[in-house]
Structure 1
Amino acid sequence: MYTNKEKARPRPAKAASGSGLVQTHSHLKYPHQLNFYDQPPVEDITLEEFETCALSRLRVLGEIESSFARNRSWDELVQITNKQCENHGLKLNASTAISQDLDGERRRDHVGHFVLRLAFCRSEELRRRFVKAEMTLFRVRYESMTDIDEKNQFLQSLELGWEAVTEKELAEYHEHLVAAATSKEVLELTKQKKERYYKVRWTRVPDLIEKRRVFLNAGMAWVPHREIASIIYQEFQTRLDKALQMTAKALPRLDEDTRIIPILDNLSQGFLAGVSSEWGNASSSGNGSEVTADMVDDIARKHYPACMRNLHDCLRRDRHLKHFGRLQYGLFLKACVLGLSIEEALLFWRKSFSNMQDDKFNKEYRYNIRHSYGLEGKRANYAAKSCQQILLSDQPGSSDNHGCPYRHFAPENLQSALLSMYSSQGLTSGDLPEIMHTVKNGHYHVACTRVFEITHSKQVSKGEGIGGGESVTHPNQYVTKSREMEARMQVKDEDVVMG
């Protein structure tokens, strides 16, 4: 499925059949806008594509799971999911969009899905979360399709085994069908004998049975045409469940492959804190053209996420941080907006360790600060830690200050800390139950995102996250978005004064 060399051997397209639309695009390897992912990719895939396709899809699925955690309405979830698909190259155009690279975009979608299968098949909990997110993505795409002909052709290709109810059967059970109709549209069409019905085993539509929206006869559910989406969703979920179990059985064969196991390990942790993008390396050169040591206190007070605010406050209180705290905070400052230059970083840390002699600071701390900037040792350009790295690596002990407060603080301590940090920015005790509920369910980045919304209520509404529905996945993302919003507010205020 993968290789280090860039080569691909596309399979020949199948012969076209059906209406003119399919014949027009019979050259496509992926003839349909939607996919049940029944067949895995068989061409060679580079390791880079292996990872990038999966990361793009994981960012979309992660935002879907965040939407569930935040109780967003279905309309909000659809809007956010479609926007995330567009942002991360997973928008699937209709087959009539002949100017688009249809095979290319559908191939990325196909590859990303199967890579994530490998990552999320390894436990029952991961499989459950993956199926729920994938099911939701499929439903969003299915409901967003506007080309009825293409949708029908896709359904025909699935061979779902449903049986059309005959005219004779419709007449015989007409009264029962009218009684079972719940929606006004289905009721009126059924009364007029214009609605089409399909017979399927009742076990395939448990949700419709639970809602009493179908007629049952001899173990078969009679599903109106306008309710067949339920069959599609149930079939998608059933097939994906079975496929993940089969993948889990085959996965041990990959244990000896040191190239992809680390990638899969990293992907499987993606639901915990989302997947950070460019923020990990943002402005890591640290030219210092914007942030200076004297500005840090003000930025911390107004723009820091809880993890960095805690480190900053502890540093100011104790005039010291232990190793992992200095590492987490130092790399954050290095990448903060346009970066804290090495000269400003040394000045900041020297002033912060004010109860220490110069000789001790130079001997024990100066080297490590320069090392984090790639100026000592192996001279690596270290990136700032993402939420995922902070949550999962270097777990803090009782006397440490690093880590994520939402995960590593006791509930009582977390509530007190949040009020201390953000009460001046609008957070109240009335906001805490909602935040603590998401923390209890393990959605730590969702809790952080909600705090951002509350403290930036003049710029974003509930559900908008840091903008466009996006959740916090990196501390530097948090502070950058916060400062951008402050700058826009200042421009508006100036325009009002000038006006």
Structure 2
Amino acid sequence: MLRHDHNRIEPKRRSTFDYRKKQFAEASYKETQYPTRLNFYSAPPTADITLEQFEQWAIDRLRRPLSLSHLVLAELEACSFRNKTPAETATHMKPLLDKYLLLESNSSSSTQLFAQRQKDHYSHFILRLAFAQTEDLRRRFTRVETMLFRLRFNAEDARDRAAFVQGLNLDWETVSDKEKQELAVELAATSGAAYGRRAAAAPPPEEETWCKVDWERVPDLVEGRRVFLKAGKAYVPAREQASMVIAEFTSRLERALELTARALPRLDEDDRLTPILNHLSKNFVTPDAAYSDTASSLGGAEISARNIDALAQHMPLCMQNLHRTLRRDAHLKHFGRLQYSLFLKGIGLGLEEALAFWRTAFNKITDDTFNKEYRYNVRHVYGDVGGDQNRRGGGYSPYSCQKILTEHPPGPGEAHGCPYRHFDVDNLGALLQQVGVTDRAVLQGVREDKEKQKFHMACNRQVSFCVLPIWNVFEHLHRKEIEKARADGVMTANQLETIVHPNEYFKRSFLLKNMGKNGDDVKMEG
């Protein structure tokens, strides 16, 4: 930690200080106590740690055991994209958390409790520094840290959870036994409504812990009629208090991140930390966002400029929209060209073929204009020109769904972005019908997913509506092939949930449509 010289104060002025009024009269670096494994991260850690611990603890909070390109926090984010239930998310995340962010309960009698909780405390604050740099990173960090806190809160022992909540000083007023008896009928009715009017499932109100707060603090519970209101107070049962604690965690973290963002410029004076923080923030990506050349290879497929039109049927809606716009206008604006060029590069289109494709596509301009204004950009995407780092890395990587959803939203006349997010409902429906999605149930399901901002689900997941299956766009367009693949044991029911990258969408579609064909059959000519 950086220490500054405070000896510039004149001796006469220093001698007049009252030690009892000094800001740091007590030791600043006292050891933090962790009575439970839950933490609101209200106070920053103050003890010294090594640079190796600084980086390693943060990495452990990010990465997952199977691959360094997969991240624990990003895996939590992917669970929400895939609409996993809280129980499914907890099951999916448990082995990852046990390996890298293990937090045992007080009842475990483990000798590592303090070390585990200290590592969790530090790693949160280190990542808070890394992800406070931009609004998008702050928003994503808040979302996944809230999910992580919810998992831990729900898994905590009832006694330790109650002790933790009591120590937060959230200004809740506990409802006395006498008041619970007086309001037994009203509280029982509230419990029945909260349980879907299955009164048998609800515990008697006198056996449940209730608290009361100003009703403005729990508008979501009031709207859902899950609390009893009286004299401006909302009577909240214990099972609903978790949502209040989690909401408080989120709001406090949002405020803390804003303060952290203001303090970041002061870190520039320490050139040891800045590279580490930059590295961490750049690696906060969605699983499968890094799409390698080997992952994009399709055995037996010829990826050439003249075959792109035939291959367009396998593209996700975002890329089909770019391809259609390019063919219609013989032009794409900068971000559209960049998004589509990287996608084509990712499916295996080589540099020379890419140059041929774009030159043919831009058929309203002369060779001289193309060479002056567009040729260099295509070569730069492939790493053929540009800085040393760009050339060594082979150019830029194809955009993931997360990047397309969150960066560079399209403006007037632009065709890039995600249609499920950036199109209005009518234009989205029209585009889907143009690419062959005419089933009313599918279109209605996409509309509902868009309204709920579940863009990934609309594109590549299956959901249940009443007792009838509603197929999303990918599964609807590949329904016969998916059923055959599952029947033959080639694909499991869960494999479709992992598509969070346009190039992965293309690869799955191509392989499904060409399943069972030999190498000669897979080739597409013209």
Normalised-by-shorter TM-score class: 0.5 to 0.7
* Counterpart selection for 1:35 from 8, 17, 39: 39
Match of 2:240 in 1: 230
**CA distance, structure 2, for counterparts of residue 481 and residue 97 of structure 1:** 48
Closer/same/farther in 2, CA of residues 483 and 12 from structure 1, 3 Å limit:
farther
What is the CA-CA distance between 1:374 and the residue it aligns to?
1.4
What TM-score, normalized to structure 1?
0.62
Moved more, 403-412 or 210-219: 210-219
Distance 1:143 1:158 in 2: 13
Instruction: Give the one of 474, 484, 487 matched to 1:452.
Output: 474
CA distance in 2, matches of 1:220, 1:316: 59
How big is the shift at 1:304? 0.9
Equivalent of 2:336 in 321, 325, 328: 325
Alpha-carbon displacement from aligned partner over 1:441-479 (angstroms, at most 9, x marks no partner): 655445434433443456499xx998474563x322322
- The percent of aligned pairs where both chains have the same amino acid is 29
Q: Relative to structure 1, is the Cα distance of residues 490 and 308 closer, same or farther in structure 2, using a 3 angstrom cutoff?
A: same
| 1:184 alignment partner AA | A
Matched with 1:386 is: 400
1:78 and 2:87 are equivalent in the alignment: yes
Q: How does 1:59-458 map to 2 (within 5 A)?
A: 59-60=74-75, 62-63=77-78, 66=81, 76-80=85-89, 82-83=91-92, 92=102, 94-95=104-105, 96=108, 107=119, 111-112=123-124, 115=127, 119=131, 137-144=148-155, 150-160=157-167, 177=184, 180-181=187-188, 182=191, 183-184=199-200, 187=203, 195=207, 198=209, 200-203=211-214, 211=225, 227-238=237-248, 240-242=250-252, 244-249=254-259, 251-255=261-265, 257=267, 259=274, 275-283=285-293, 291-293=302-304, 295-301=307-313, 303-317=314-328, 321-336=332-347, 339-346=348-355, 348-349=357-358, 352=361, 366-378=375-387, 380=390, 381-391=395-405, 396=410, 398-409=412-423, 411-423=425-437, 427-439=438-450, 444-449=455-460, 450-457=472-479
Answer yes or no: is the 8 Å Cα contact 1:85–1:91 preserved in 2. Answer: no
The 1:410–1:155 alpha-carbon spacing in structure 2 relative to 1, beyond 3 Å, is closer
Distance across 2 between alignment mates of 1:213 and 1:393: 40
TM-score (norm 2): 0.60
Cα root mean square deviation, aligned: 5.6
Distance, in Å, in 2 between the alignment partners of 1:340 and 1:408 is 27
SS in 1 for 2:416: coil
Paired with 1:97 and 1:487, the residues of 2 have a C-alpha distance of 57
Q: Where does the alignment leave 5 or more consecutive residues of structure 2 unmatched?
A: 3-28, 64-70, 192-198, 269-273, 461-471, 487-491, 519-526
Seen in structure 2, the aligned counterparts of structure 1 residues 110 and 437 have a Cα distance that, compared at 3 Å, is: farther
Distance 1:40 1:82, change over 3 A: farther
CA distance in 2, matches of 1:187, 1:490: 60
Distance in structure 1 (CA, Å) of the matches to 2:434 and 2:139? 37
Q: What do the CA deviations read for 1:69-95 (whole angstroms, capped 9, x no partner)? A: xxx6xx834314642565687775645
| Contact 1:332 1:475 survives alignment (8 Å) | yes
Change (3 A) 1:99 1:199: closer
Distance across 2 between alignment mates of 1:256 and 1:312: 46
Taking the aligned partners of 1:282 and 1:127, their CA distance within structure 2 comes to: 28
Residue deviations 1:254-298 (CA, integer Å, cap 9, x gap): 24656499969979xx9xxxx433433421898886552155444
Quick check: 1:121–1:248 contact (8 Å CA) kept in 2?
A: no
Q: Which segment drifts farther, 476-485 or 350-359?
A: 350-359
Alpha-carbon distance change, 443 to 177 in structure 1, aligned in 2, over 3 angstroms: closer
Q: Which runs of 5+ in 1 are unaligned?
A: 3-9, 15-29, 492-499
> Could you give the per-residue CA deviations for residues 12-67 of structure 1, whole angstroms, max 9, x where no partner exists?
685xxxxxxxxxxxxxxx67554333443444665686588469465356446547
Which of 503, 506, 516 does residue 476 from structure 1 map onto? 503
Count of paired positions: 431
Structure 2 residue identity aligned to 1:374: G
